[in-house]
Amino acid sequence: MQSIGVDRRSISGFRGRDVSSAWKHVDIVLLVATGLVLLFGLVMVYSATRRFPGGTGILLRQGLFVVVGIAAMFGVSLIDYRRIADWWQIIYGVAMLVLAGVLSPLGSLGAFGTKGWYAFGPVVFQPVEIAKLATVLAVASYLGSVDRVDLRRLGTALVLLVIPMGLTMLQPDLGSALVFIVVGLGMLVVGGVRLRHLSLLVILGVVAVFGILQSSALDQYQKDRLTAFANPDGVSAKARYNIDQAQTAISSGGLTGYGLGKGPSTRLGYVPAQQTDFIFTVAGEEFGFVGSGLLLILFAIMIWRIWRAAQLAADSMGTLLCIGVMSMFLFHIFENVGMNLGIMPVTGIPLPLVSQGGSAVVASCIALGLVQSVHMHRYA
């Protein structure tokens, strides 16, 4: 496997040292940045939902998911990631079964024609969020166990990526399907796949995306939402509405914003899905460039620490696991913020740790717990 800048010999020299507890090696910077982003997210959810009749209930439910996510993050970080990886086939298989189940009568249809949820009373579970993490674990465990990624092993890794991507497209959810492509590309690059094979995969991926946009897999209004950012004059005003309102809200915030709960677009509910897909508009409108910039800085710190954990990992599996999580977070952040600014397609991808939604918050916390596990158990 190709190195990403870490000297494995320097790591092996520490193996004989007496380390009393894995907690001595927890990444405090990553932990604090994660906590601040979670807190920021709760404030944003409060502001975006306070006008709703059940706004308090939404905030309390989100707070409960944050607590569950934090508990899961700490629990996972205490377990050596290699022990978790021993179960990757079972974890991956169960995740795929649950993901496929939403296509059955057990699944629930969303507001935009996507059948990607299970509804249990007031609790809604989106299995694709867990499937993303299970796929990262599966690919990292598989590629981390081989010395060289030849065509046969590359084919197996691609199958692990194509299965959840295909199930996600059947919902259809192009945004989440793109996450699997980006995650797979990041892990394959670090995993040592040859450049010509990667180039071919990128070309095939681009062709597949354009093919999907030209096919009947998506309804016309879904295609318009995806292409409105690049061709605003070629779609209806309805398809542009989300982007137009989001840009208005963010631009009106100026340098420091209107203040918490004082943003006119947020108070009057002009931005659709503001507590989920378009929650970044709350930060832009009510805290301005300073507040939204601070949130992006916290995300940048998180990405930096995940990258650092990948460099310090004791083995290839740990490195790949961190790279998979980093790729997933990077794409979510770039795509979500980009569609709020009108420079990326509207795909319905949540902003990690910030957007309302229990499945995404808990899955993101577990992913960060795995990164902490790689960092904490690198001397084990």
Least confident of 32-46, 81-95, 137-151: 137-151
Task: Compute the average pLDDT of residues 87-92.
Answer: 96
Residue 8, pLDDT above cutoff 60: no
CB atoms within 10 A of CB 207: 10
Residue 218, pLDDT above cutoff 70: no
Categorize the per-residue pLDDT at 220 as very low, low, confident or very high, splitting at 50, 70 and 90: low
Domain boundaries, the chain: 22-376
Quote the pLDDT of residue 199: 78
Residue 128's identity, in one-letter code, is V
Residue 67, pLDDT above cutoff 70: yes
Task: Compute the average pLDDT of residues 363-374.
Answer: 97
pLDDT digits (tens, 9 = 90+) for 40-65: 999 999 999 988 887 788 899 999 99
Residues 6+ apart with CB under 8 A from 87: none
pLDDT digits (tens, 9 = 90+) for 274-290: 889 999 999 999 999 99
Categorize the per-residue pLDDT at 243 as very low, low, confident or very high, splitting at 50, 70 and 90: confident
Quote the pLDDT of residue 4: 53
Least confident of 49-58, 257-266, 345-354, 358-367: 49-58
Categorize the per-residue pLDDT at 9 as very low, low, confident or very high, splitting at 50, 70 and 90: very low
pLDDT digits (tens, 9 = 90+) for 164-210: 999 998 888 888 988 999 999 899 988 877 777 777 777 877 777 67
Quote the pLDDT of residue 45: 95
Quote the pLDDT of residue 324: 96
Q: Output the average pLDDT for the chain.
A: 85
CB atoms within 10 A of CB 118: 16
Work out the percent of the chain whose per-residue pLDDT is above 70: 85
Of the candidates 73, 82, 92, which has an alpha carbon nearest to the alpha carbon of residue 135?
A: 92
Quote the pLDDT of residue 230: 58
Residue 160, pLDDT above cutoff 70: yes
| CA atoms within 13 A of residue 331's CA, in its CB half-sphere | 22
Judge contact between 77 and 372, C-beta under 8 A. Answer: yes
Between the alpha carbon of residue 189 and those of residues 83, 142, 144, 215, 324, the distances in Å are: 25, 15, 13, 30, 11
DSSP 8-state assignment for residue 216: S
Residue 378's identity, in one-letter code, is R
pTM for this predicted structure? 0.87
3-state secondary structure of 87: coil
pLDDT digits (tens, 9 = 90+) for 96-155: 999 999 998 888 776 666 788 888 777 788 999 999 999 999 999 999 887 777 788 888
pLDDT digits (tens, 9 = 90+) for 288-345: 999 999 999 999 999 999 999 999 998 999 999 999 999 999 999 999 999 999 888 8
Between CA 167 and CA 175, with CA 170 as vertex, the angle to 5 degrees is: 85
Residue 361: both structure tokens together = 């918050």
